[in-house]
Structure 1
Amino acid sequence: MVVSAHPEASRVGMEIMRKGGNAYDATVATQFALAVVFPVAGNIGGGGFTVFRSATGETGTLDYRETAPVAASETMYQDSAGNVVNGLSTDSHLAVGVPGTVDGMVKLHQKLGRLPWADLVQPAIDLARNGVVLTQKEAEGLNRSREAFIKNNKHTPYLVSEQTWQAGDTLRHENLARTLERVRDRGREGFYAGETAELLIKEMKRGGGIISEQDLADYTSVWRKPLEGSYKGYKVISMPPPSSGGIALLQLLEMVQPYNLREYGWQSAEEVQVITEAERRVYADRATYLGDPGFVDVPVNGLLDKEYLKSRMSTMRMDKATPSSQVKAGELPFYESDQTTHFSIVDPAGNAVSTTTTLNGAYGSKVVVEGAGFLLNNEMDDFSAKPGVPNMFGLVGGKANAIAPGKRMLSSMTPTILEKEGKLYMVVGTPGGSTIITSVFQTIVNVLEHDMTMQQAVAAPRFHHQWLPDEIQHEPNAIPADVRAILESKGYKLEQRNPYGRVNAILILPNGKLEAGADPRGDDAAAGF
């Protein structure tokens, strides 16, 4: 089974497995297909994380997160007075981190793949050349970003239509097809050297970006040991730093474990309060301690220590809210876009892959490499432009996540796999910026504590707290009105927001069948056999 953000990408991954490919082959094919059919977040100009568990129980993770260019500096987004310049880390050529996706897919295939590389890239080339029929959501997304595409490029990118895009229009990606052919024929060199690299460097020079030939040549993805924890007998396998996701997820699960969420009931006042107070403390830790382990000493063991987490929750009182300590004056409005995408895969042998991949903002920096047809990320915004100043997701960071050449920016991506009694149980993840961690956490709780099916757990309305701003953000249908009133009487501030996240998950049922959860908030779809 493949569950991804787009029916065509899910189909491509499934067909690869039908032809004898394994979950890792399907990951490569799905990733490249998403770069074509889901340009808002699918990418070759971004990066991501993969968590895997083999059929024999071996686990691992691959980090192909973008890196800061060699010419990057800690104060590069500040003016001479030390103020952060609005838009520089999000809407410019200067916002782009060195892309990692292609290197990551090459490394994944070399180590774990089975089918020939060319067979895995070809379906994306076919989709790019033949064109993709736009859904309503995709047409609206392209139209919404039209002005930004024009403003952030020196040429008029092919994603801009003379008229507005309509559902049912066909979008063809001619230059992207040629770029993917170079990747098909030359592997890593097809992206990080030769014509593609030349076009990317030209684009950088045209718009004042700082990625160099050396940055591209030096980029390498990293195999990392997964973080592992447990929740009521289930083993949880997730992503280590530079993702904050795995640590935060394991902290949340450990903090709520002593409370009887099942007895409280789904989105009851007690459950919402316990989860909120745990989330508040976890995001405070995230802002202070987490960064790229190649540059800062991340105290993983301390943050996951059971006694430490118990002490963090000891200050919680059920009769009233614990206010978040104020670290800055005034707060930016919270911004959220579906800038990331997640897919989950299980193959016939039982190998499982959980992959979250991103451009950061919707369509990344909106910069399209002229002649190469792919979008570039605005991942540099995930660094702390200045300690204590929020990024586009309202997240604050400290020195641990300061910009440095070659450093990987902190992420919230939380691709995760669960085991039950030594067997594969769940594959889960989502996009959603700072809400990724809480969405994955609540989906897991929905299944384990509230006996939801995978689809129910994914579709269920969600809520979120991230320390600052000090408010419970909730989707329109989340938290019943009477529960909201109880929480407000205890001093909680509640803010309704648009639906967020696109959780894509697979549950392995006791009879061995696979049950999909494809998020109805998007055009997400499952394909299986």
Structure 2
Amino acid sequence: MRGMTVPAGVAANHPATAGIGLDVLRAGGSAADAAVAAVFACAAAESIYTGLGGAGFATYYDAATARVTCLDFFCSVPGTDGDVTAGPMVPVEVFFGGMPQVYAIGGASVAVPGVPAGCGELHRRWGRLPWRDVVTPAVELARTGARLPAAHGRTLASCAPALAYGEGAAVYEPAGRLLHEGDLLFHPGLATALAALADEGPALFYTGDLAKIMVDAVRAAGGALGMRDLAGYAVTEVPVRTAALAGHRVLARQDMNRLVDTIGALPGPLPAGPQRAVAVAAALRDHGVQRKGDTTNVSVVDADGNACVVTTTMGLGAGVWLPGLGINLNSMLGEGELITADLAPGVRMQSNMCPLVVLDGGGALALAAGSAGASRIRTALLHTLLGVLADGLDMAAAVDRPRFHVVDDSVQAEPGCDPDDLAALAAAGWRVRPWEELNHYFGGVTAVGRGGAAGDPRRGGVGLLA
């Protein structure tokens, strides 16, 4: 595949999300325009994973300069107003991989959201189309709603204690029954909020009318979010890290799981066969815990070769909704793995999210990708990169291929993993736990590259070429 041009395309975790991104590309939009349009579409189609009350990261590749930029629009800790003390969070138990996991939601779990600001900054730097043209497709989608893919239905079933909490019940359990595959996901009032965003821009959420509504909703639910927290929020540019893999360079931010460092820890040259599986497991060794993480990703390449990868999340969702506007706020302060000792009001939180680009030896774009999946983001991306760059698979085959994930001294293995690989891992001292079915636990990669465009079947994803 070396020397080939990456085709223009969009990959996302919902057909409607990817379709809106593709329409914007075909209308002359840049990779940033299409990615922003798709992220806003996620608010209507993928609210199980993300939304306007969430946050994220973006990586952008500029084909004219071969420059890579990483933007941080993740959550900041509220409380800089100093006039309110947050109350207790609301514990919820969700089942994940057959095991109960305890999270916390409610007003005290809400951190400063970054999605509107991050999308605004992407458009300001690299957009071509008018802002209104980029936001309007999501307005139209919000007016009709979107059908729930089977994979999203499975996620909803496991996360229902958080998502269908409080006002969320009217969205996810209409008529007293949890939505499932093929049902219409509809958020009353969301079209109104998106239309206002199209008219007024991201400032609406930070210093405009929605800021006061957001603060009132959070504080009524026991949170500490204040007007100063919102007005002081800013998107930041963060350093780009790089590592070599199979004659290519992988470029991304430094995430909590250190994907770039993990790639750098792989032996070179890569061993073949089962010994590679042992080497990959050693590089992936992670002494954290299994966490769910509701996250999604959009990957876009435009006709000029620019790439934009955006990963966003809202945690499990706080169950704090902006009244009449169809927006659920994030629960980042209730995500135990994100709570670090240095957190204080105004401090930017850390994350496992790692949108990336891959360049060939000449500095040309080879691949743009990101993933959902909390602590499995690194795993999902590494397996996909190895499939494309080392094994020569096309994008769909690389994304679909069974993965294994390391937790402490165990290997969680998807159905279809090579038996010889699993035997070698067991012989090397790993406890191998086979899974019986495809599961969103193993991440949700979306990618566009020389091998085409692909979304992850674990998350109902699709890849579309322009």
Mapping for residues 481-492 of structure 1, pairs under 5 Å: 482-492=420-430
Decide which of 70, 78, 95 is 1:69's aligned counterpart: 78
The alpha-carbon deviation at position 147 of structure 1 amounts to 4.6
Corresponding residue for 1:346?
301
The alpha-carbon deviation at position 486 of structure 1 amounts to 4.1
The alpha-carbon deviation at position 150 of structure 1 amounts to 5.2
8 Å CA contact retained: 2:242, 2:250: yes
CA distance in 1, matches of 2:168, 2:306: 44
Corresponding residue for 1:524?
461
1:161 aligns with 2:174: yes
8 Å CA contact retained: 2:60, 2:309: yes
Q: Which secondary structure does the structure 2 equivalent of 1:503 belong to?
A: strand
Deviation string 1:91-147 (CA, Å, 9 cap, x unpaired) is 222111100010111111112111110111111111111222333344454455555
Q: Which secondary structure does the structure 2 equivalent of 1:162 belong to?
A: helix
Decide which of 144, 147, 152 is 1:130's aligned counterpart: 144
Distance change in 2, residues 1:107/1:486 (3 Å)? closer
1:252 aligns with 2:262: yes
Deviation string 1:273-329 (CA, Å, 9 cap, x unpaired) is 21111222xx46xx8xxxxxxxxxxxxxxxxxxxxxxxxxxxxxxxxxxxxxxxxxx
1:224 aligns with 2:238: yes
Distance change in 2, residues 1:397/1:223 (3 Å)? closer
1:464 aligns with 2:405: yes
Corresponding residue for 1:311?
none
Corresponding residue for 1:290?
none
The alpha-carbon deviation at position 72 of structure 1 amounts to 10
CA distance in 1, matches of 2:392, 2:151: 31
8 Å CA contact retained: 2:448, 2:454: yes
CA distance in 2, matches of 1:376, 1:464: 30
1:276 aligns with 2:281: yes
Decide which of 24, 40, 50 is 1:42's aligned counterpart: 50
Corresponding residue for 1:233?
247
Between the two proteins, the alignment pairs up a number of residues equal to 440
Q: Comparing both chains, which one has the higher relative contact order based on Cα–Cα distances under 8 Å and sequence gaps of 6 or more?
A: 2
8 Å CA contact retained: 2:81, 2:228: no
Corresponding residue for 1:506?
448
Which one has a bigger Cα radius of gyration? 1
CA distance in 2, matches of 1:21, 1:396: 35
Decide which of 286, 294, 312 is 1:357's aligned counterpart: 312
The alpha-carbon deviation at position 451 of structure 1 amounts to 1.9
8 Å CA contact retained: 1:199, 1:371: no
CA distance in 2, matches of 1:348, 1:154: 42
Corresponding residue for 1:294?
none
CA distance in 1, matches of 2:301, 2:243: 21
State percent identity of aligned pairs. Answer: 30
Q: TM-score w.r.t. structure 1 length?
A: 0.77
CA distance in 2, matches of 1:396, 1:355: 19
Mapping for residues 403-414 of structure 1, pairs under 5 Å: 403-414=343-354
Q: TM-score w.r.t. structure 2 length?
A: 0.87
Distance change in 2, residues 1:222/1:198 (3 Å)? same
8 Å CA contact retained: 2:454, 2:461: no
The alpha-carbon deviation at position 177 of structure 1 amounts to 1.0
Deviation string 1:479-524 (CA, Å, 9 cap, x unpaired) is 41x5434433432212234632111111226xxxxx1122122221
Distance change in 2, residues 1:149/1:253 (3 Å)? closer
The alpha-carbon deviation at position 478 of structure 1 amounts to 2.1
Corresponding residue for 1:320?
none
- Provide the alpha-carbon RMSD of the alignment: 2.7
CA distance in 2, matches of 1:65, 1:496: 34
Decide which of 336, 356, 360 is 2:292's aligned counterpart: 336
Decide which of 378, 381, 385 is 1:437's aligned counterpart: 378
Residue identity matched to 1:403:
L
The alpha-carbon deviation at position 376 of structure 1 amounts to 1.2
Corresponding residue for 2:391?
450
Corresponding residue for 2:69?
60
Gaps of 5+ in 2: 1-8, 93-101
Gaps of 5+ in 1: 288-331, 383-390, 510-514
Higher strand share: 2
Corresponding residue for 1:495?
433
